[in-house]
Amino acid sequence: MYKSTGLALGLALSSLFGTAQAGEAAADDARYQLGRKAFTEQAQPSCTICHTLQDAGASGTIGPNLDELKPTPERVMAAVRGGVGVMPAFAALLSAEQIEAVAHYVAQVAGQ
């Protein structure tokens, strides 16, 4: 009796953890997609004009090559919010959700 109860409990917990991981993966995928769209389309001017990022098909040469820089999400958020050098600030142009998604996307695809 204890073996079958333990097995049932183990299967139930495994199912719960599997569902939670699938939910996190879907949320990460949605954030990835939002970040990619903000990077390639929604930011104006587009990030692709100035930056190189292979995943986005971007080969800009004005700003740093993000594939080589491998910025952290925090660094990307700070740059997007406040601008850096000739890069304009996007805090008034993109929502907080879009900025966080761009940071997640860039850090993820650039190898961070």
Q: Does domain 2-109 have CATH number 1.10.10.60?
A: no
Q: What angle do CA 56, 60, 66 make, to 5 degrees?
A: 60
* pLDDT confidence band for 20 (50 / 70 / 90): very low
Strands 52-53 and 58-59: antiparallel
Residue ranges of the domains in the chain?
2-109
pTM for this predicted structure: 0.75
Structure confidence at residue 79 (pLDDT): 97
* pLDDT confidence band for 111 (50 / 70 / 90): confident
Decide: 112 and 71 in contact? Cβ < 8 Å. Answer: yes
